[in-house]
Amino acid sequence: MRTYYPTIKDGVPVLPIHTAQSRRQWLRTLKEGTVLVVDMRIKRPEKSHQQVKAHFGLCVTMVRERMIELGYGVFNCPPSKDMVHEILTKACMGVGDHGKSIRMSSPEMTTARMAKVFENIRDFAATELQLVIPDPNPDWATITKEIVEWQSCNAPAAALSTSIGTSKTGTLRLAPAHGV
């Protein structure tokens, strides 16, 4: 399987010249009549390292401390960081296909989606624990807003995008059909 990252210009996916040449060379190695599967989807920026650090270092830590303060625990043991992370995952990260929780390690967890997760965690902490968690980065909300606005004014991109967050870079994967 080959993966290419074209950008859209005038409604057409365009590869950098060296990538286009490499793609043409690979296509010439295939037998005539080979059927290819082309999977096009929008490449989304993945969550940042800064966001992961803020989740575990700020949100999980503050929620855990507040839960201990309020007497939460299991069998008289205070909640661990892993337990609090799981609670926040189930309560705040959203649901993907077939009702499964979206994990931080999931490719669906984009920078914009992670910004929304922080908003959900902050809301959860405020309503359930009476805890105010400071906004780790106010710009993440702006990033989310800009991406949603871009999606709403770009109908083809919005049609391809099923989750929050996107960029103007697409992915074009070519692979022979049926493993040929």
Instruction: Render pLDDT for 29-53 as a digit per residue (tens, 0 to 9).
Output: 989 998 888 777 766 566 677 888 8
Residue 156 has pLDDT above 70, yes or no: no
152 in a domain, yes or no? no
Residue 20 has pLDDT above 50, yes or no: yes
Give the residue ranges of DSSP H helices in 4-110. 17-28, 49-54, 61-69, 81-92
63 in a domain, yes or no? yes
Q: Could you tell me which residues are beta bridge partners of residue 95?
A: 101
The number of distinct structural domains making up the chain is 2
E strand or H helix at 113: helix 111-129
Share of the chain above pLDDT 90, in %: 21
- Averaged pLDDT of the chain: 74
Q: What is the pTM of this model?
A: 0.55
In terms of domains, do 100 and 70 share one? yes
128 in a domain, yes or no? yes
150 in a domain, yes or no? no
In terms of domains, do 33 and 94 share one? no
Domain that holds residue 23: 2-43+167-179
- In 3D space, the residue among 95, 85, 79 whose CA is nearest the CA of residue 58 turns out to be 85
Per residue in 49-100, pLDDT (tens digit) is 788 888 888 999 999 999 999 998 888 899 999 999 988 988 888 777 777 7
Long-range pairs, 95-100, Cβ under 8 A, ≥24: none
Per residue in 59-71, pLDDT (tens digit) is 999 999 999 999 9
28: helix, coil or strand? helix
83 in a domain, yes or no? yes
In terms of domains, do 140 and 84 share one? yes
Contact (Cβ atoms closer than 8 angstroms) between residue 156 and residue 93: no
- Identity of the amino acid at 86: E
In terms of domains, do 102 and 123 share one? yes
149 in a domain, yes or no? no
16 in a domain, yes or no? yes
Token pair 């999977």 in the structure block, residue? 39
Task: Return the half-sphere exposure (C-beta side, CA atoms, 13 A cut-off) of residue 38.
Answer: 10
Token pair 């914009």 in the structure block, residue? 112
| pLDDT band at residue 142 using 50, 70 and 90 as cut-offs | low
97 in a domain, yes or no? yes
